[in-house]
Structure 1
């Protein structure tokens, strides 16, 4: 029996991600925040020397290059501590993102507070279904 649709945006937002597609939640990395985390400071500015995402550097208040980010994955793990499988990705070529894959069955359980639910795709849309022999919560 169909219970309802999946609210992937709300699920992602509950983990502090601000973007999603049907497969993952994500949030763009603030390079300045990553610099300050990496260097354990609070006065740095993150900038890119070119369009290459691997060209990011950290500048001190006087504009001196104090190095780049060596551990973007570590930054994402620190930023999203409640997620087990967060990763750093530059796959879109536009920005670094912290990304978490979406387990749609987990979304159903979370959204409807019902451990018997599973996610299925029907007519191009994802819905949560309860097995016919399962009782309502």
Structure 2
């Protein structure tokens, strides 16, 4: 496979060489200028990266603290989450403060909002909207039904988790090293 790739590249370079030899003078000048700019640009980029100070290892990521800082109750390896207060979601949807919530069956999809006097108003039509309201200003929060439990959840931003953990908000990045997230101050 590698031999075939090298043969194709060799053939391509040969054809490019022929095309450049037969090209007009102004085309050759433009190609030379473009190649020079590309080489200088690559040299400057790699020169700066190689000449700069090394990145500083800060330590690991604290997912629990990061999620708590964003007002979530729990976390796993990927998401911060909080159980949805379904009564609060009813009141948000219907712009009220006096509603109750009950499931009509074992299904998490069977919930109904009730006005005083046990008058049913309907279900919660916009769980995602409620989560966006409850966890504003987050833009990536979503609603999820896991094991018949409604939660608001947000995918963990590992870079943000590092920034919160080490209270450094610029030049900090998270890196996954063999399945373990580590934080670095990037030089």
CA distance in 2, matches of 1:99, 1:114: 23
Superimposed CA distance per residue, residues 67-114 of structure 1 (whole angstroms, 9 cap, x where no aligned partner): 111111111111011211111111x13211111111101211232215
1:87 equivalent to 2:149? Answer: no
Q: In structure 2, do the counterparts of structure 1 residues 114 and 62 end up closer, same or farther at CA, with 3 Å as the change threshold?
A: closer
State TM-score, norm by structure 2.
0.65
1:45 equivalent to 2:124? Answer: no
What residue in structure 1 maps to residue 159 of structure 2?
105
Gaps of 5+ in 1: none
1:35 equivalent to 2:87? Answer: no
What residue in structure 2 maps to residue 12 of structure 1?
67
What residue in structure 1 maps to residue 150 of structure 2?
96
What residue in structure 2 maps to residue 118 of structure 1?
173
Structure possessing the higher relative contact order (Cα contacts under 8 Å, 6 or more residues apart): 1
Gaps of 5+ in 2: 1-55
Contact in 2 for aligned 1:44/1:58 (Cα 8 Å): yes
CA distance in 2, matches of 1:41, 1:106: 35
Structure having the higher Rg: 2
State TM-score, norm by structure 1.
0.87
Superimposed CA distance per residue, residues 55-75 of structure 1 (whole angstroms, 9 cap, x where no aligned partner): 110112211211111111111
Q: Which has the higher helix share?
A: 2
CA distance in 2, matches of 1:71, 1:79: 12
Superimposed CA distance per residue, residues 11-51 of structure 1 (whole angstroms, 9 cap, x where no aligned partner): 11112111111111111101111111111111111111112
Structure 1 segments (4+ residues) deviating >6 Å:
none
Number of equivalences? 131
